[in-house]
A and B are shown apart, each in its own frame.
Chain A
């Protein structure tokens, strides 16, 4: 039976944990709002870019040079997988679901006889894959600080990817990231980045074909496409980083909310135990006094 003092200490320590988790929840909530605003602000650019690209995509006939970003290398032997996780933990299943999904993807690709390399973004996935598939990591990006220098980090990642791509190091690039669905739910999503997946944008094009048909291009379609494609890669990565950042804050908020609630419940049950013990103690003392008095 624990003494009264032991229970009291336990209550106090759970109480201070509760304070920390509820503070973290508040911080995450305010960061979430900011990340969401950022993600929203970036939307017009990426959607415009996609529209432009989809109206140009059909004009990419030859598969040379930069156009390869669109048409692919013609092989699908070498893959590069980019898991996007957070730099910090304490956000529920956010990081582990990314790692698990990526691990599964890599295994299934390897099962099909493909060669897979990894380029983790974020400390948590880097650390995980450093443990399990160290020799497959070719580069990693950590400490991105998406909320302040997001676009620059996205540029760095996209430059590195394109450099590797044009060196012929890989044929396909797949991003694995948490898509922001709502403040409390994220969905692990895979997106093929290189070569560009135009299947969904092509549908849009059909819809708008009537209005899109007669553009003049300056200087010409190919030059524009050559400018547009690398930019599109960076923008896609930027979008993913922002989504993942918002998702991280959301996940942390939910996790901390849970933790705060659990701590509250724990304090309640510990207080009950404390009172019971105290009462039992008093009763015992009373019995001792009474029985002592009777025996005289």
Chain B
């Protein structure tokens, strides 16, 4: 079984860089599952989960990204994300609080933050496969 090299890059640093089996990224129009040998795609991302699976299809890591871009070619997948957090380190209560605070605010900026925070909450609650 082949592998594909995967880079997850945030403006501050290189978050993840390894050979993996499968990656699922949250494309703007729907999730993209990327396997080795994927055709060339450039996609922008919505806030959501980036899930990394090993060669034998076990979940290695899952990240929350607040949007960004993915560049995919047969050997390599690069995700440029504005902010990256590991899903395990997200705390439900603090996000719920953040959402409440943001809901009381007006303005375009807080609206954007709100949608990101809601996506975060969804990322924690959503069902996913530990093994595919």
Residues of A within 8 A of B (CB): 38, 41-42, 44-46, 48-49, 52, 55-56, 150-151, 214-219, 223-224, 227-228, 231, 235, 238
Contact = CB atoms under 8 A, between A and B. Distances in A.
Given A41-B14, A238-B11, A218 B69 contact: no
B11 A227 contact: no
Given A41-B14, A224-B43, A231-B82, A219 B71 contact: no
B44 A223 contact: yes
Contacts of B11: 42, 45-46, 151, 235, 238
A123 B9 CA distance: 31
A12 to B, nearest CB: 46
21 contacts: A38-B12, A41-B14, A44-B7, A46-B11, A48-B78, A49-B69, A52-B80, A150-B12, A151-B11, A215-B40, A215-B42, A216-B41, A217-B41, A218-B27, A218-B32, A218-B41, A218-B43, A224-B42, A224-B43, A227-B44, A228-B69
Nearest to B82: A231
B28 interface: yes
B10 A45 contact: yes
Contacts of A227: 44, 67, 69
A217 B69 CA distance: 11
B44 to A, nearest CB: 5
Contact of A218 (B14, B42, B78, B82): B42
A215 B43 CA distance: 10
A255 to B, nearest CB: 28
- Residue from A45, A56, A151, A227 having most chain B Cβ neighbours under 10 A: A45
A223 B29 CA distance: 12
Interface string B1-31: 0000001011111100000000000011100
B126 to A, nearest CB: 21
B39 interface: yes
Q: Which 6 A-B pairs have the closest CB atoms?
A: A218-B43, A41-B13, A216-B41, A45-B9, A215-B40, A227-B44
Nearest to B17: A44
Given A44-B7, A55-B42, A216-B40, 20 more contacts: A42-B12, A42-B13, A45-B9, A45-B11, A48-B71, A48-B78, A52-B42, A151-B12, A215-B42, A216-B41, A217-B41, A217-B43, A218-B29, A219-B43, A223-B28, A224-B43, A227-B67, A227-B69, A228-B44, A235-B11
